[in-house]
Each structure stands twice: as structure tokens, then as C-alpha cells.
Structure 1
Amino acid sequence: MEPPVRLASTGTITHGVSVGEVLGVSTLADARLIAGESGLGRIVQRLNVMEVPDILAWVKPHELLLTTGYPLRNTPQSLGRLVADLDERKLAALAIKLGRYVDKLPDEMVEQADRLGFPLIILPNDVGFDDILNQVLTDILNRQAAVLARAEEAHRALVQVVLAGGGLDEVTAEVATLLDVAVAAVDGGGRVLATAGPADHVTLLWESIAHEGPPLIPAPASGRTPSGTSASGAAGRTRAFASVPVVAGGHHHGRIVAYSPAGTIRDSDVGILERAATVAALVVTRQEAVNAVESKYRADFLRDVLTGRAGTAERVTARARAFGWDLERPVTVLVAELDPDGDERATQDRLVACWVAAMRRHDPQGAVAGFSHEVVAVLDATVDAARVAKDAASAFADVPPATFSTGTSRPSPGAELLPEAYSQALKAARVGRQLHGPGAVAHFDQLGVYRLLSLVNDTEELHAFVRETLGPLALDNDAENSDLRRTLQVLLETNLNVAETARRLHFHYNTLRYRIGKLERLLGNFTDDPHLRLNLTLALHVLRMRGI
């Protein structure tokens, strides 16, 4: 026997009509729904005729299956299982003609259809399958054509917005007009970038996004209508919220969210929202390209200022003003450097974004730019620099395990002294990390003796001083020497208080006296020579600053 005949429009149908709408066509005026009323919202996209016993191998989702019961005439016991099998394959409904091959549907079959919300329809005997196929398929094709025409019209309108130079404000306004809904464009972090629609509806949409955020629209299981929606509309389903992702270049940039208090957003409207998300992705990538170019110009200019290559003070002031920066006032320079193992490009970009946001809140006229391994900010000297750094660190905390260390300069009275302030901030960040570990915030004036040591540019001379002063204790290749160096450090910190040193190191008093004798044989009589003690203290400080 030939396989069953399936009639459907060419191509993949993404919209259809509900089972309830199918029952409204003239050829089915006398048809009776005997079970599965809760499934009237299921979508019919295809029609199939069941006249072979192995029909399950041929059915597809969203089909309306028509049958005379001929394949089941000799096995009526299989009718009870048929509904569950068809529902599992996500069919829309089963319509059957009784009397010729099957006289009555089993009660078990009817009960199961009601339980699953799977419509069972009794067809009138005087209506041919070809009439049903023609009418329903015509409705599906007409509906599909109307949906496609509306989607194309919306797409042209949205593309025209972009071609005219519009941004997310214009895109959301166009969608709100097309669908008569409130619309919001939301970035990946949940921040609302643009809204459009009636003010009270927009407020409700804001609240929804702020509290929980409407989810992306899922595909209903087995073609069922989602809870709380109606079976009317272009594709048989409506809803109050719809949300689609904005994706470009494999990156998720946010969402386009729509809200209708009347719950009238249809599946075809979701299709238009998807077109809008595509256009929004174009807007986002275009703006990112513009921002990247502008950021590069800003960073290049600020680097020139901080290295003293930007020209005269008048030229620096004028160009800074064009970027919205005020460099004529007394300012402080901050340097934020990613700590080791966090120097990835994406992490660096996130660090820049956090500092830009913090500067906007605390000093909108301050300069901020990202270099290859650091972010530099120049802000009003009256602003609490530590608070700005804490604000940026708080925003950056959602990028574990990356951290950054921050250094702050002395106040600088003008642009011509910014190179010196930049050097101070950079040294404060690096020395602070060495002294306090990752995530340190250090001010140049609070570095104490380390500030003086950091001014020695000849690091080889510093290392030579350490080797000459500490001798074998300068090396880390011997555990005993490292242990003796720790003993020396605590002795100097306690001003040679043997009892206190023994307590801190958990040594017996006599053990410590033995260690002191060993240290003096290696280093000299430091217990009686204050100058030697000073040299030893400085050498230990230099060791703590190793790598600077």
C-alpha cells in the first residue's frame, strides 16, 4: 500500500491556524468535538490522511489527522493507545468518520484525549476529505501569506530606521507602533537602554525587567497553548510578555522585550520582534564599532598627555575639552592594573567598562581610557579617589577570579605635570600589590620608605645592594636561609626584643638566641650596629618589592 498523502504548503510553515479555527470552516460546520476541548488552541500547520496501519511512522508535529478508521477496523483495541502515541508526536488533533469501519470510539480513548487535551473530532459523513483539505490548507496558506507580508513590511520599516541613522530609541519606537505594545531594549546586564510605548505600560515593563525579567518565549510542549493564553490570533496563541535575544557575531548583546497589558502579543508578533532584534544587533554592532574608534582616539590622546607628548598646555586643554574632559583643574591620576593571571582581553574590556561607569557617576568631566594592561583615570582632586576605586571594584566583582590593584597619585595642579602624577600612580599600584597582595588600593604618599625605593630606577643596583647586605639570605634556593631571613625580619620589626620575637615565631628563648648568633656570623654584629640594622631593614624592604 502507498504511504499516506500529506497536503501542506511548500517550504517550512512556521504559522498556522488553531484547531478551534479549523472547526469554524464551512465544511466542518456539522463536525462534533467529543474530547480534548482544552487543546483547541493547538496549531494546525499540515493535514494528513490516515489509511495505513503504520501511520505513526509518517506523522509530523502540528498535523490534523483525518481518518475513516479503516486501518483500525480489525484492531479496535489499538484505539486506546492511539491518542497517547499521536500526542507524544505533537499532533494537533484527530478527526474521524464513524459508521463505516468504526462504529464508536472507546470510552478509554475519549477519557485519555480529555486528560491530554488532545482534540477528538467526529466528522460528518457527507463531507469529503478533499473539501476539508482544500479549505483548511487555503486558510493556512492565506494566514501564512498575511503573516509573511506583515513581517516583510515591518522588516522594511525597521531597516529604514537603521539606514536613516536611527538607534535603539528609534527601533523600539517603530516596534511599539507596529505592534501597539510597550517595548524595551535591554543589554546583557539587564540595564534598560531604550523604551517606547504608553508611559504606564512602559512603567510596568520596567518593573517586570527590574524584578525578575520576562523569560524568552519557549515552544509549548505538544503544541499546547501556554497557560493563561487564548487560542485566538494569527497563530492561535497570545501572551502578555515576549522577549527575544539580540545576538551578533556569536555574542549575546541583550534582549528586545514587549509587553501588552491586554495579553494580545501573537506568535506572528514574536516573529516581528525577532526581526527587530536582528536590526537592533546591527545598531549595537555599529555603535560598538564607533565606540571602539572613539575609545582608541581617547586612549591615544590620554597616553600622549601622560607621557608628555601631547603638545602645549593650550593644545592639551582644547583637545581634552573636545572629549568632554576638564584637565585645567587640579586632578588626581588613578591607575588600575589587572593582577597576574587576569590579563585576558575580555577581562580587560570589562575592567575598562567598570571604570568608565564609575567615572560617569563620580566625575563626568574626568578622563578615563584603557591601555593594553591598565586603565587610567584622571579625576577632580576633590573627589574621593578611594571611593571611585571601590565603586569600580564592586562592579568588577562579578568577573571572578580576576582582580585589579589601584594606585593613586598626589594631586596635580595642571596638565603639564600629569606625566609625573601618572608615574606616581603606576608605582603606587605596583608597590601596593607587592606589599598587600592582589586587589590592593595604595596612595603614593602612603608608601613610606617604599616610595623612596621606588624612585631608584636602577633595579640592578638595588638587587646588588640586597646581595651585598644579606649575603646567602638573599636567595630563596635554601629553606634554612629563608627561615633565617624570616627570623631576622621579625627581630628588626620588634626592635631586637628577643622575648617578643620568640613568642611571634613560636620558638624557645634559647633556640632564638642560637639563631641570633648564627645570623650575626652570616651578616655581622647587627645587634650592636644601628647602621647595619638600617641596611638590613632596607634590603628586606627591597626584597618585598621584587619584580617592580
Structure 2
Amino acid sequence: MDYDDKLTVEAILERPLFRHARIIAGHEGIRRNVRWVHIVETTHLSPFVNEDDLILTTGVALKSIKIRHIYMNQLIEQKAAGLCIELGEHLTTIPGDMIKLADKHHFPLIAFEQPVRFVDITQDLHAWLINKHHHFLQELEQLSRELQKLTLQSTEIKPILQLLHERTKYPVLFYSLVGNSYAIPSSYHTELETYQRLVDGRADVVSSLCELPFDASRKIMIQPVICFGNTLSYIALLLPDQTVSDHLPFILDYAIQATAHVLLRKLFLEEKAMETQQQFMEDLLIGNVHQEDAMRARIGLQPTDKQDYYFMAGIMQIVHDLKHENEEVIESVKQDLLVLCRTLLRKQGFHCLLLNKKNQLYILCFKESYSFSAFDFKGKLTKTLHELRQNLSHNFRGNLDLFVGFSQPKTRLIDMHFSFAEADKTLNIGILLPGASPFYDELGVYQILTHISDTRLLKKFVHDHIGPLLKFEDETDIPLLETLSVYFKNMGNKQETAEQLFIHRQTLYHRLEKCKELLGPDFLKPHKRICLELAIYAYHLVDHPLHK
């Protein structure tokens, strides 16, 4: 089907019922598209005229210059396709003011020089438009069947792109964020590179179907492929810089849906294949690793003398309120999270292995050290976690919280047993202290405190150093502990401390004097201050409901 076979003003002039019609003005607009035809004799057009409507009139209301001017401007503003006037009883010629305005805006002005039945014209053109649309729906149904067949035959994207190219006759560009990108035909590889840069620079615009300028003579129609609320790739048609068929967005959308199905199935098939690497992850967790090169070989990495990597261990724990749901629903949520997590990590350029065990997801992510710094590693993981949480809040039913802990980056696989221990401690701190960093190397003093398993020892330490403050707070509800904590964090700056606590400086002075009275006059001296700060951090651990 020729999707660019549109009904234009030029094509209408060739039809039999227009053999006595002549275009009087606006010749440069004869390629305008015509979507519908209306007979309109009123001068108030706005409620009745849409874009690309062709208007038929006898001119009964166009006898004064003022009315004609208003009438024509309304049609031009509504972006009508053109105006056809029957000459005779009401207008014997087309007025010069209408001709001048039509030429100025390239608005087709057509005159019927002999009487014509408008009802015959509307019937003829509407029949053509309806038949064309019916034919398109049949073609679209056939395309849907062919795309469905392709999605069942293979997990390859290329056949879908090839079919899209064959049906539209336009070059197809496929930009994948998680795999290979293609141009159909392949000779358009230069355009593919330009397209990738265009998408990367306009991510906010291409989040849904849009058209953008490509170069001086071409434009591009782009639509994202979205799975689990996350963009995995983009498909685009490279078009001439002129009006194209309204049918193209529908065809592109069908191809997008088929591609999404293939990508989704491919992700789940990959996940199935990854189950064979579960033993590898289990070995890392229990420390059953001995030779670095042998461990690298198990996951297809080069030996240490060939290439170096950064490795990072992570643990995610899902907390949900789906206790009364079917177990299959809960397992489905976990599986979806696993696939989504892998997709987002790949999007950020990571290689990764994942293990779903009980209510936790164990992650090993790694990347060549020449392409990442340790700082980049954490930055990209932070971005991944942000996208993951956004997706959970938008796409999963019920209340789900995600707690995460990541180890420090390391350069040896055989150290991953210790890395998972670091990730576990970071995860536990995140559960106890919402807002804590998900990275072990940012935990500060909590790195030490988490190694003290005897909470009685911590409680005694807290009681010995800040017990008087806690007792005073219980009796008076004056937050001395928070005041002292913020004061320490601001390095003794009273102005900043008062601002962060939303109190007057005079109130702060009274509180600090009370701290001095309860803790002793030397409470700000280095040896005493260190103990107080440590006790405050320990208090947040031992005072948590999980430790009570």
C-alpha cells in the first residue's frame, strides 16, 4: 500500500466533479492534504472547521469586504485545506480582496464556474477517504499478523526492522541502550551515528513519539521502546522534510510493540540462561574461591595480566505488603525486579551477575578499569538505583521499599566474599537508618560499630557518655542530643547550627550551657568530643526498634 497516497487539493482538481472548477489563487498550496469536506454557509467557522478540511460554499454570506476578511482569516488560522466557491447567484466573480489574501497565505481558492451539486462532491470525496481508511485498517491488521509471526519465530530485532522498512519504504534506524544498534538498509550507518547523538542530546523530547529535524532536507520520526516503564531502545523512520502520511505513526507503533515483546522475551531467556551461573555466585558468597584467573575464566573474563576490572558486590532487599497475595504474585514481582535491575545496570555500561535468594537479590557488577574510575562506578550505580526506585513506585502494585548495600570497588574476584560481607553490613545500616548511604566506604564510623556484635557493650558505652542528656530529654522534651549532634556536624559553627535547628542563637546558647552542665566543662575537648560523637552514632543503632 502506498502510505503517501494522500487526497490533496491537486488530486481533487483532477476528479470528474471538478472538471468545471478552476483554482483562482493560492496555487502554491495545492499540495495541501484534505482529510474531510464540509459545506459551510455561516461566517462563524471556528466550531465547525478542523485542520485540513476543504470548505464548500455558495458565497451567500460573503457580500461585504469586512465579512470576507474575517471569513478568510478564520479558515487560514484553522489551517483549512482550501475554499471552493460556486459562482452564480450570490457571487459572480471572486473578489480581489479574497484573491490577494489567499495568495499571501498560499491558501487554495477554487471557483466553480458552473452550478454543481455539493452533495455529490461530499459523497464522492468522503467515499474515497473512507475506502482509503478501510484499506489501511486491513493492511494494518495484516502487518500485525506478520509482526506477531516474527516475534514467535525469533528473538532477533532485525526482521521486525526489515518489515517496517519494506512497508514504509523509508530507512529505519534502531538505537539500543542495552544491545546492538542497526540501520536498515545498512548503508545508512552514518545516519545511525547522527541519530544516536541526536537521541542522547534530546532525551527529554524523545520520551514519546515525536518528529525532529535531521538535516537540511530530512526529518526523523522517533518513538521509544519501553519495558517495565524503562526505555530500552528507540526506533526511527528517516523521512523527507515534507508532509507525510498520517498512517506512519500507527505503523511505527505496531513495530514498537513487537520490538518490546521480543526484547522482553529476550531478557527473560537471558535470565533463564543465567541460572547456570548461580553456582558461581554461591561460591563467591561462601568464599569458595582460590585462583583469580580460574574464577575469571568461569565468567569469560581475561586473565589478570591481560585486562583489569573493578568489581563491586551489592545486596538488595525488598520489603513489601503483599503478605496476603498469592505466592506466584510475589515471585513474579521478584523476577520482574531482577530483569529490570539487569537491564538498568547494562544501560549504565556494567557487566553483571545476579542471584535471587530468599528475599534478597545478590549482585556482582564489574567493568573494565580503563573505562571507569572508582568514582564513576558509584555515580552510575547511584543513577541506576534512582531509576530502579522510580520504576518500583510507578509500576508495582502495593507498597514496596527497596534497601540496598554496596561494597567498596575491588580489583580481584577472590575478594568478593569480603565484599558481600561489606554489602550486607551496609544493607543492615540502611534498614536501621533510612537515608544512610548505600555504599560501604561512605558509612564512616558505622564501619566499626557494625563489627561490634554485643549490643550490650554499645548500650553501656552510650549510657556512660550521653546518658545524662537522654535522661534530661525524657524529663523535659528538650532535644539536647539532636542539638549536640548538629553542633558537632557544623564544626562548632553556632550560626549554622541554629539555622539548621530552626531556633534562635540565644536558645542554642542555653542548650549548649545545659550540655556543659550535664556532660562536664570539658565536653568539647578532643578526647571527650570523640567519645560523645561515637556515642551519638551508636545510639542511633541501639535505640532502633530492631535492637530493642
* TM surpasses 0.5: yes
CA distance in 1, matches of 2:311, 2:195: 41
| Number of equivalenced pairs | 480
Question: What is the Cα deviation at residue 458 of structure 1?
Answer: 2.6
Superposed CA deviations along residues 345-381 of structure 1, whole A, max 9, x for unmatched, are 9999877655455673xxx4x6345786776326599
Alignment of 1:51-200 (within 5 A): 61-69=51-59, 71-72=60-61, 78-125=67-114, 128-129=117-118, 132-133=121-122, 135-137=124-126, 139-141=128-130, 143-144=132-133, 147-186=136-175, 194-200=181-187
Instruction: Work out which of the residue numbers 261, 266, 272 in structure 2 matches 1:282.
Output: 261
Q: List alignment gaps of at least 5 residues for structure 2.
A: 320-332, 391-402, 490-511
**Residue aligning to 1:9:** none
Q: Partner amino acid for 1:204?
A: E
**Residue aligning to 1:472:** 468
Question: What is the Cα deviation at residue 30 of structure 1?
Answer: 4.5
Instruction: Work out which of the residue numbers 419, 422, 433 in structure 1 matches 2:420.
Output: 422
Q: Indicate conservation of the 8 Å contact 1:484/1:515, yes or no.
A: no
With normalisation by structure 1, the TM-score equals 0.63
Q: Partner amino acid for 1:271?
A: F
**Residue aligning to 1:208:** 195
Q: Indicate conservation of the 8 Å contact 2:462/2:538, yes or no.
A: yes
Q: Indicate conservation of the 8 Å contact 1:246/1:252, yes or no.
A: yes
Instruction: Work out which of the residue numbers 35, 45, 48 in structure 1 matches 2:25.
Output: 35
Instruction: Work out which of the residue numbers 226, 236, 241 in structure 2 matches 1:257.
Output: 236
CA distance in 2, matches of 1:513, 1:487: 15
Single out whichever of 42-51 and 512-521 deviates more from structure 2: 512-521
Q: Partner amino acid for 1:456?
A: I
**Residue aligning to 1:22:** 12
CA distance in 2, matches of 1:58, 1:382: 65
CA distance in 2, matches of 1:253, 1:381: 23
Alignment of 1:285-304 (within 5 A): 285-290=264-269, 297=275, 304=282
User: Aligned with 2:160: secondary structure?
Assistant: helix
CA distance in 1, matches of 2:233, 2:368: 37
Q: Indicate conservation of the 8 Å contact 1:411/1:421, yes or no.
A: no
Q: Partner amino acid for 2:377?
A: A
User: Aligned with 1:99: secondary structure?
Assistant: coil
User: Aligned with 2:458: secondary structure?
Assistant: helix
Instruction: Work out which of the residue numbers 350, 353, 357 in structure 2 matches 1:367.
Output: 353
**Residue aligning to 1:376:** 363
CA distance in 2, matches of 1:413, 1:252: 32
CA distance in 2, matches of 1:147, 1:93: 25
CA distance in 2, matches of 1:389, 1:538: 30
**Residue aligning to 2:458:** 462
Superposed CA deviations along residues 330-358 of structure 1, whole A, max 9, x for unmatched, are 996533679x9xxx999998776554556
Q: Indicate conservation of the 8 Å contact 1:87/1:116, yes or no.
A: yes
Superposed CA deviations along residues 191-217 of structure 1, whole A, max 9, x for unmatched, are 785323234423214313413558677
Q: List alignment gaps of at least 5 residues for structure 1.
A: 1-12, 220-225, 230-237, 491-511
In the superposition, relative to structure 1, how do residues 67 and 463 fare at CA in structure 2: closer, same or farther (>3 Å)? same
Superposed CA deviations along residues 266-311 of structure 1, whole A, max 9, x for unmatched, are 444443223212322332443455466667x589767755664x9x
CA distance in 1, matches of 2:50, 2:242: 30
**Residue aligning to 1:46:** 36
Question: What is the Cα deviation at residue 398 of structure 1?
Answer: 7.0
**1:272 matched to 2:261:** no
Q: Indicate conservation of the 8 Å contact 2:374/2:409, yes or no.
A: no
CA distance in 1, matches of 2:261, 2:18: 47
CA distance in 2, matches of 1:514, 1:93: 85
CA distance in 2, matches of 1:174, 1:424: 50
CA distance in 1, matches of 2:373, 2:459: 33
Alignment of 1:398-417 (within 5 A): 406-408=406-408, 414=414
Instruction: Work out which of the residue numbers 241, 266, 280 in structure 1 matches 2:220.
Output: 241
**Residue aligning to 1:499:** none
Question: What is the Cα deviation at residue 102 of structure 1?
Answer: 1.2
**Residue aligning to 2:507:** none
Q: Indicate conservation of the 8 Å contact 2:182/2:192, yes or no.
A: no
In the superposition, relative to structure 1, how do residues 65 and 251 fare at CA in structure 2: closer, same or farther (>3 Å)? farther
Give the aligned CA root-mean-square deviation in angstroms: 6.0
**Residue aligning to 1:392:** 380
In the superposition, relative to structure 1, how do residues 14 and 419 fare at CA in structure 2: closer, same or farther (>3 Å)? same
CA distance in 1, matches of 2:449, 2:152: 59
Once the two structures are aligned, what percentage of the paired residues are identical? 19
CA distance in 1, matches of 2:384, 2:412: 27
Single out whichever of 474-483 and 34-43 deviates more from structure 2: 474-483
Q: Partner amino acid for 1:140?
A: L
Question: What is the Cα deviation at residue 93 of structure 1?
Answer: 1.8
User: Aligned with 1:34: secondary structure?
Assistant: strand
Single out whichever of 127-136 and 317-326 deviates more from structure 2: 317-326
With normalisation by structure 2, the TM-score equals 0.63
In the superposition, relative to structure 1, how do residues 452 and 405 fare at CA in structure 2: closer, same or farther (>3 Å)? closer
Q: Partner amino acid for 1:34?
A: I
CA distance in 1, matches of 2:484, 2:144: 73
User: Aligned with 2:407: secondary structure?
Assistant: strand
CA distance in 2, matches of 1:14, 1:330: 53
Q: Indicate conservation of the 8 Å contact 2:271/2:339, yes or no.
A: no
Q: Partner amino acid for 2:35?
A: Q
User: Aligned with 1:181: secondary structure?
Assistant: coil
